[in-house]
Structure 1
Amino acid sequence: MNKNSPSQLGVIEGFFGRSWSWQSRVSYADFLASTGFHYYIYAPKDDAFLRKHWQENWPDIRFSQLQALRDTYRQHHIDFGLGLSPYELYLEPYPERNLKLIKKIRQLNQLQPDLLCLLFDDMRGDLPHLAKIQCELVQCAAEHSSAKHIIFCPTYYSFDPVLEKVFGTRPEDYWMTLGRQIDPGIDIFWTGPKVCSTHYPAEHLQEVTELLQRQPFLWDNYPVNDGAVKSNILQLRAFDQSHSELQGKIAGHAVNPMNQSWLSRIPLMTLPQAYHEGPAYDPHQAFVNACHLLCGPALAGQIIEDIALLQDTGLNKLSAAERQALIKRYQHFPNDPYAAEIIDWLNGGYQFDPACLTE
């Protein structure tokens, strides 16, 4: 990946709740290659071997699945990444914490990832010397990983006050320490003004660039819908106009999609278009075009007609009659994966995971 090209776009499967099937992950290689994306990062929150049980090895079957997945992405010229969340590793004494991390990195090297993400989100952060310890661990990972690109996610990855509410008071000079001590060749994830930001003002990105002493690598929490509120909606609309203005302001752009893999393709298809078209980008027309290209004219027309119910009203506010009416509408598209996910969602197939704390 050329980190000097901020239009490098990718998908990070990094949400809570019901994860994608292996078939969906495999099929995304072709989708990403055909729509202008450059990488996929495997980091599902329900893979315990990357999170709370990260020191254990994957079962042989899972490891073989990951090898096959990597090979599929390579065949499509899409970079393959892994997201490791070494849960509370920074509580371990030195040098034991480094030795444990090195052991895991060597296992991950067997998958020959193009990208390695070291993720310290979703962990407590009100600890002395947090930044210093995390910097040491990032450097340790970089020294022992075979990946050509390292991205670090700090515990506090936004100015959003919800992070301190959930994970404790951010240590003084946390971001400034990261900026000074982490090698400038390593990127740092950032979600914007909020955990789930809707836009990224130029002045905000400039402030973060100065704070981290590098342009932020955007972790875009749209269209993800794994939170207590957003699990009740399907975020299908196109990326908004502000995304067409990001070129030159960020180091890269990783999108966290919805639990619904097929429906996520509708908004995802519009992001490369936003970059390509710039000021001429029309989000509504991009949404309409994506629906037609992906779903065919009949289903596209139905989704476009129902978008306010699906994305604005949502499950909690739909009456029982409205929900049943919607189910009947989409049952007219049997064996269609997009319609099937809408029906599954309407039937309560995607339950909120209370482990998601930061919406």
Structure 2
Amino acid sequence: MSSEFLSGVVEGFYGRPWGQQLRLDYADILCQLGLNSFLYAPKADPFLRRQWQNDWPAAEWRQLLELSRHYAAAGLRFGIGLSPFQLYAGYGTLEQRRLRGKIQRLNELEAPLLAVLFDDMPGDQADLAGRQAEIVADIEHWTTAARLLVCPTYYSFDPVLERHFGPRPASYWAELGHLLPAGVDVFWTGNEVCSKSILARDVARARAALGRPLVLWDNYPVNDGALRSRHLYLEPLAQRPEYAADALRGHFCNPMIQGLCSVPALLGLARLYAGERAAGDDVPGAILGAAAWQQLQRDSALFRDQGLDMPEKRRSDLEALYRTLPGPAAVEVVRWLRGEDAFDPACLTD
């Protein structure tokens, strides 16, 4: 499988997913930032998760085909994140046949990336690692994707995962790392589900636990939780490790529901890996519009620290102000200020 370092965006959040036009626009955005990959994995797509055995309606399938072709034409890596919900709890002949059919359907996209996501599912199962590795080995045999990635059920050292999904089986990480096919990449979010920092020693610790290099699934600037959805995170990604060939094989950021407003945060990711191709400080203004970007810079600390808990008068005044600004980025802010992007308080990220 391909060894290219992957850097880009995973649309992997809960809540309202991005629209098709925004996903198409992100091909140009990633090129401007100097990043190379986009992974489609919204939790709200039932045909990736709870209804994974079923096919997409014709119109939605055409959109996925359009995305794959669009990213290929832009020279970018496009992929799908499949979350076959709790398949490992009963993986028999029937389930294997259904999974093979799904992979064969995904092969029609001709997408170079395929991710198998076991995140945010019950994991209190003694043979969890072995069952998941068996599923992934089958998928590796069937898929035509150039790169296969896996998100473990326990994808961080954060104890919140065991509180939500049950005790982690003994030696889960070591067994999974040993049993997965050699070319398969493993996602990791850091010491926490939403890590404030990820240091080189954190990556080394996780690499030692799994016995193989990692791909970071960075839950910044994502804001899909009951608390985080009340804030916008506009500062460039920071406090992250430099690239190390023996430890990292990729780094994806999980963006906000507000896709255009996520661009400033992605500058930090671009600067880590894009080198001379990294975007300059003028790129957010070119993408978001100069007026919207200037105003967002003024409001960045307020949106980060107080968010929707700011005084009601201030919130009302800002909503009126952003309504006057041109472009879809300002529209994203208006929706957020109106509380239209609030989310279920049971979300794991909080």
Contact (CA 8 Å) 2:198, 2:241: kept in 1 or not? no
Q: The residue matched to 1:170 in structure 2 has which SS?
A: coil
The corresponding residue for 2:240 is: 243
The corresponding residue for 2:287 is: 294
The corresponding residue for 2:227 is: 229
Deviation at 1:92, TM superposition (A): 1.6
The corresponding residue for 2:86 is: 88
Contact (CA 8 Å) 1:244, 1:277: kept in 2 or not? no
Counterpart selection for 2:306 from 299, 304, 313: 313
Moved more, 204-213 or 346-355: 346-355
Deviation at 1:247, TM superposition (A): 4.0
The corresponding residue for 1:127 is: 125
Q: Provide the rounded CA distance (Å) in 2 between the counterparts of 1:147 and 1:135.
A: 17
Contact (CA 8 Å) 1:327, 1:343: kept in 2 or not? yes
Q: The residue matched to 1:50 in structure 2 has which SS?
A: coil
User: CA 1:161–1:318 in 2, change beyond 3 Å: closer, same or farther?
Assistant: same
- Does residue 357 in structure 1 map to residue 348 in structure 2? yes
Deviation at 1:79, TM superposition (A): 1.1
The CA RMSD over aligned residues, in Å, is: 2.0
- Within-5 A mapping of 1:261-280: 261-276=259-274
- Within-5 A mapping of 1:43-54: 43-54=41-52
Deviation at 1:293, TM superposition (A): 3.8
Deviation at 1:48, TM superposition (A): 0.3
Q: Provide the rounded CA distance (Å) in 1 between the counterparts of 2:347 and 2:321.
A: 32
Task: Output the amino acid matched with 2:79.
Answer: G
Per-residue CA deviations over 1:85-130 (Å, capped at 9, x if unaligned) read 0011112243333222112111111111211100001110001211
User: CA 1:63–1:277 in 2, change beyond 3 Å: closer, same or farther?
Assistant: closer
The corresponding residue for 1:57 is: 55
Q: Provide the rounded CA distance (Å) in 2 between the counterparts of 1:181 and 1:109.
A: 24
The count of residues paired between Structure 1 and Structure 2 equals 348
Q: Provide the rounded CA distance (Å) in 2 between the counterparts of 1:123 and 1:173.
A: 18
TM-score by length of structure 1 reads 0.92
Deviation at 1:258, TM superposition (A): 0.5
The corresponding residue for 1:304 is: 297
Q: The residue matched to 2:196 in structure 1 has which SS?
A: coil
Q: Provide the rounded CA distance (Å) in 1 between the counterparts of 2:44 and 2:289.
A: 33
Contact (CA 8 Å) 2:13, 2:254: kept in 1 or not? yes
Q: Provide the rounded CA distance (Å) in 2 between the counterparts of 1:322 and 1:300.
A: 19
Task: Output the amino acid matched with 2:172.
Answer: Y
Q: Provide the rounded CA distance (Å) in 1 between the counterparts of 2:98 and 2:323.
A: 51
Contact (CA 8 Å) 2:88, 2:131: kept in 1 or not? yes
User: CA 1:118–1:154 in 2, change beyond 3 Å: closer, same or farther?
Assistant: same
Q: Provide the rounded CA distance (Å) in 2 between the counterparts of 1:309 and 1:93.
A: 49
User: CA 1:63–1:175 in 2, change beyond 3 Å: closer, same or farther?
Assistant: same
Q: The residue matched to 1:196 in structure 2 has which SS?
A: coil
The corresponding residue for 2:20 is: 22
User: CA 1:244–1:89 in 2, change beyond 3 Å: closer, same or farther?
Assistant: closer
Per-residue CA deviations over 1:30-74 (Å, capped at 9, x if unaligned) read 111222111111111111011100001111111111111111111
Task: Output the amino acid matched with 2:144.
Answer: S
Q: Provide the rounded CA distance (Å) in 1 between the counterparts of 2:67 and 2:26.
A: 10
The corresponding residue for 1:333 is: 325
User: CA 1:235–1:65 in 2, change beyond 3 Å: closer, same or farther?
Assistant: same
Task: Output the amino acid matched with 1:245.
Answer: E
Contact (CA 8 Å) 2:215, 2:250: kept in 1 or not? yes
Task: Output the amino acid matched with 1:350.
Answer: D
Contact (CA 8 Å) 2:315, 2:337: kept in 1 or not? yes
Contact (CA 8 Å) 2:199, 2:241: kept in 1 or not? no
Q: Give structure 1 stretches of 5+ with no counterpart.
A: none
Task: Output the amino acid matched with 2:292.
Answer: L
Q: Provide the rounded CA distance (Å) in 2 between the counterparts of 1:195 and 1:164.
A: 12
Q: Provide the rounded CA distance (Å) in 2 between the counterparts of 1:290 and 1:306.
A: 18
Q: Percent identity?
A: 41
The corresponding residue for 2:70 is: 72
Deviation at 1:297, TM superposition (A): 4.1
- Does residue 186 in structure 1 map to residue 184 in structure 2? yes
Counterpart selection for 1:322 from 310, 314, 317: 314
Q: The residue matched to 2:8 in structure 1 has which SS?
A: strand
Q: Provide the rounded CA distance (Å) in 1 between the counterparts of 2:346 and 2:18.
A: 17
Q: Give structure 2 stretches of 5+ with no counterpart.
A: none
- Does residue 150 in structure 1 map to residue 148 in structure 2? yes
Counterpart selection for 1:42 from 40, 44, 64: 40
